[in-house]
Amino acid sequence: MTEKIMQKKIAPEKIMSEEITLNEITFVHGGLFTSEGIWIHPNIRIDTTELIVMTKGEAYLEEDGCPYHLLPGSYLLFEPGKLHGGTRQSTEQVSFYWFHFHGKLPDSFAGKTGALPERDRIDLLCRQLLHYANTPSCAKAASDYCLRLLLLEVDLQCRQPAGGTIRFSEICEWIRMNGEKPLTSTDVASQFGYHEDYLARLFRKNLNCTMKQYIIKTRMAYLKTQLLSTDLSLKEIAWKAGFQEYKYFLKFFTIHEGMTPTAFRNLYFNTHENKR
């Protein structure tokens, strides 16, 4: 049986007329799983829906005999009551977020599985959810709201059209892959052999923002990921991101995020991590 990508194609008029409502979704529990050595998902049957968001490696899973191959930046929803597990071993390290919840997703939800183009936004929402879920002083409703926001973001990212030409998508991906570098509009234009004014028009047309704004957004996403997913000091992160002086890093982050890097990192310090 071939691996399925059950991504729904929904007509634009239906998207506009049918609002995604997740008021009945309630969070049960979740965490960040990281494998140690050879790993395969056990065969289990549960009474909750499970959302898996891949962050590292490759996972080979199935649900009631239907196989799925997950890569970093992809997600999968396991339905309650159905048998799911692994189809083959993963020899390299695998890491993914997992969230169990009660409540039925609306029929208009984007799909059972798919790719998430803006991984940094998803990672931040996952960590935010785990922080509230593992902070005893936070009300249960906070976790429910965070989960609904995460599901809305998954739905939104999977509905978005590719945007522009393949070449434009390649430009955006190159900027994202070089988020740790102090890129300028001139750097991007030189890399792809286009005039800066032409690229500026492309970004306004396809993303409704300037190229500089997109570069800053990507750079901030990189910095946030480093703050949340590593134990590096602020000075080490500043050095990795190409800031010539530490004070410029502090100023850049504070201006664009509205808080210091330390304050941002402390917002999401509680996570639940399990290893096998």
Alpha helices (H) along 18-88: none
Question: Given this chain, do its domains 12-159 and 166-267 carry the same CATH topology?
Answer: no
End-to-end CA distance of the chain: 29
Question: Quick check: pTM over 0.85?
Answer: no
Most confident segment among 55-59, 154-158, 264-268 = 55-59
Query: CATH says 166-267 is which class?
Result: mainly alpha
pLDDT tens per residue across span 40-53 = 999 999 999 999 99
Could you state, in order of their start, the residue ranges of all structural domains in the chain?
12-159, 166-267
Residue 130: pLDDT band (50, 70, 90) is very high
What number of other Cβ atoms are within 10 A of residue 101's Cβ? 24
Helix axes 211-229, 185-192, angle to 10 degrees: 100
Q: What digits encode the pLDDT tens for the residues 189-223?
A: 999 888 888 888 888 887 788 999 999 988 998 89
Give residue 160's pLDDT band: very low, low, confident or very high (50, 70, 90): low
pLDDT one-digit tens code per residue, 224-236: 888 888 889 999 9
Of residues 2 and 53, more confidently modeled: 53
Are the beta carbons of 255 and 237 closer than 8 angstroms? no
Fold of 12-159: Jelly Rolls (2.60.120)
